[in-house]
Structure 1
Amino acid sequence: MSTLTAPKSLPSPLKVGVSRTKLEVKQFFREREQLIFTFFFPIIFLGIFSAVFSGTDFAGGVNAATYFTPGMIASGIFLTSFQSLAITIAMERDEDLLKRLRGTPMSPQSYFIGKIGLVLCTSIAQFALLLAIAGLLLGVDIPSEPSKWLNFLWIFVLGTASGSVLGIAFSVVPKSGKAASAVVTPVVLLLQFMSGVYFVYSDLPSWMRGVASVFPLKWLAQGMRSVFLPDGFVVNEPGGSWQLGLGAVVLTVWLIAGLVIAQRVFRWTRRDAG
């Protein structure tokens, strides 16, 4: 008599997502152009701003390199998460890569886990490199208080996670992979200018600060300032506070909203493919 073997159960979405993360990371480090842009773009801008404003002392005796470091960290996280994913996923959809993945046991949730895992890995590496250069070459004081690094940890995690799910959701906006950069990049640039990445945030017009406060990059940049700037600098922030509690709420709301929207609008194929 032949015995029937029970069919093997499919791996869990989490296990598939972890495997996808490993593949995404390997593919990322094979793309030299993307690797250089992701890791060195914030560092180059930090060097430029440090040189341009080298003779400028910000409030509290903070020099240019120290002031712009937290903004460049926040910008790097947003570039790695929101911009990179919104463009890359649109291109993968255009090239029918997602269509091929659809025929595998991979669920959208596993695909999301793989992308978020990629962002976490690359953001950690990018941050470590930027901080090493800022500390060794630009004379930026690295904080030593454990409380500041605990704040950095939750700000970093919330920032990368919210930026990632929003990037996945926004990837459906470009009509094609070729148009993705033209659609996504202006949005990112606008948010960078309005969120205090390239300018002193308190010097921006109040209406611009009001608009920026709706979006996550402003809170990510402000949270990073609370970590890397002296405690006394807080008096120069609008309202005289780092507003970490409010920042956590805003980032969490964007994370939840982005996840819900991403699951509802995500497509394996282009809209004109039916």
Structure 2
Amino acid sequence: MTSSNAIVAEQGHPVRAAGGGSGLWRASAARSSVELKSFFRNRQSLFFTLLLPIVLLLVLGSIFSGTVPGTHTDFKQMFVAGIIACGIMSVSFNGLAINIAIERDNGMIRRLASSPMPKSAYFVGKIVRVVVTGVLEAAILLAVGVALFRLPMPPDAARWLTFGWVLLLGATSCSLLAVAFSTAIPNSRSAAAIVTLPFLVLQFISGVFFPYSQLPAWMQTVAAFFPLKWMTQGLRSVFLPADFAVVEPAGTWELGRTAAVLGAWCVAALLLSLLTFRWRGANVR
């Protein structure tokens, strides 16, 4: 795809893709480039989606000290695992749902849907955006955790593999949830408030800021229905000592259950997205 077409794509106007698979690849590459440029040029989006978890980690790490009761693990190291999961949800669910709601409200999605560009290219662009920003988020948080809070790196390939599939399933499930949830947002003005509320609530009940086992039973039950709790627990299994598992409600890391719950959310959110996604905003004609 030519550079002029990429500029047209960035403005939300039709992009003509050549027939066949090569056309889809070029259209997807153009949309991916547009998504990344628009994200990194938007200072507000960059701060609240990418930098806020880093600021949160630094603030919490400077306030809390000591070890988690019943373990020899520093509170700060537990925070790092939780904030990484929180950061992945921020770039996937939070950022994506708000972005889609804005583009639906200003008519960009409708223009793209009625253009020769394959509709799938729109979602490929969103996926690339989440992957790139998610990897960058995780890398920065890891660097901060290792440099400032002495977070131990995974000692073996098995833990790195767990790190990979937890991030992949977590980002996928949260991204698909964002696509589905965006339909519930009436307009772009209310997008941030509507998306941020459940995101904040889940952070407090999913073991991000407090040891999960110390939360009231009803909070644990509610949190167990959503991906963030399992993402946080899966990442704790990667970075924290094996004896930390004794303070988990089940006394183990439950990695099999973590994979099953996150996988189920991927399927359920995909089906919900297919059934509910709207290309036209209520005020778009």
What TM-score comes out, normalization by structure 2 length?
Answer: 0.88
Comparing 118-127 with 23-32, greater Cα deviation is found at 23-32
> Are 2:265 and 1:254 aligned?
yes
- State the one-letter code of the partner of 2:79: F
> Are 2:267 and 1:265 aligned?
no
Kindly state the Cα deviation for residue 33 of structure 1 after the two structures are TM-superposed. Answer: 2.5
Kindly state the Cα deviation for residue 103 of structure 1 after the two structures are TM-superposed. Answer: 2.2
Comparing 188-197 with 34-43, greater Cα deviation is found at 34-43
Aligned residues: 268
* Shift in CA distance, 118/48, structure 1 to aligned 2, threshold 3 Å: same
SS in 2 for 1:240: coil
1:112 to 123, 130, 140: 123
CA deviation vs aligned residue, 1:87-146 (integer Å, no higher than 9, x gap): 111011111111221222334433222112110100100111111111112222222311
Counterparts of 1:60 and 1:182, CA distance in 2: 37
Counterparts of 1:33 and 1:272, CA distance in 2: 25
CA deviation vs aligned residue, 1:20-59 (integer Å, no higher than 9, x gap): 2222112211222222332221121112222221244543
Query: Superposition pairs for residues 93-242 of structure 1, below 5 Å?
Result: 93-242=104-253
SS in 1 for 2:184: coil
Kindly state the Cα deviation for residue 273 of structure 1 after the two structures are TM-superposed. Answer: 4.2
Counterparts of 1:129 and 1:214, CA distance in 2: 29
Residue 78 of structure 2: aligned partner: 67
Counterparts of 1:58 and 1:69, CA distance in 2: 17
CA deviation vs aligned residue, 1:44-76 (integer Å, no higher than 9, x gap): 111222222124454321112101111000000
Counterparts of 1:68 and 1:231, CA distance in 2: 17
Q: Cα RMSD between the aligned structures?
A: 1.8
Q: Does structure 2 retain, via aligned residues, the 8 Å contact 1:10–1:105? A: no
In the alignment, structure 2 segments of 5+ residues that lack a partner are 1-17
CA deviation vs aligned residue, 1:242-265 (integer Å, no higher than 9, x gap): 111111111111111111111221
Residue 98 of structure 2: aligned partner: 87
Counterparts of 1:167 and 1:100, CA distance in 2: 21
Residue 17 of structure 1: aligned partner: 28
Q: Does structure 1 retain, via aligned residues, the 8 Å contact 2:112–2:119? A: no
2:53 to 12, 24, 42: 42
Comparing 213-222 with 52-61, greater Cα deviation is found at 52-61
Q: Does structure 1 retain, via aligned residues, the 8 Å contact 2:98–2:195? A: yes
Kindly state the Cα deviation for residue 187 of structure 1 after the two structures are TM-superposed. Answer: 0.8
Residue 30 of structure 1: aligned partner: 41
* Shift in CA distance, 202/108, structure 1 to aligned 2, threshold 3 Å: farther
Q: Does structure 1 retain, via aligned residues, the 8 Å contact 2:68–2:211? A: no
Counterparts of 2:180 and 2:104, CA distance in 1: 13
What TM-score comes out, normalization by structure 1 length?
Answer: 0.92
In the alignment, structure 1 segments of 5+ residues that lack a partner are 1-6
- State the one-letter code of the partner of 1:239: A
Residue 3 of structure 1: aligned partner: none
Q: Does structure 2 retain, via aligned residues, the 8 Å contact 1:60–1:232? A: yes
CA deviation vs aligned residue, 1:165-205 (integer Å, no higher than 9, x gap): 11011011111000111111111111111111111100011
Residue 10 of structure 2: aligned partner: none
* Shift in CA distance, 142/268, structure 1 to aligned 2, threshold 3 Å: same
- State the one-letter code of the partner of 1:49: L
Counterparts of 2:176 and 2:23, CA distance in 1: 20
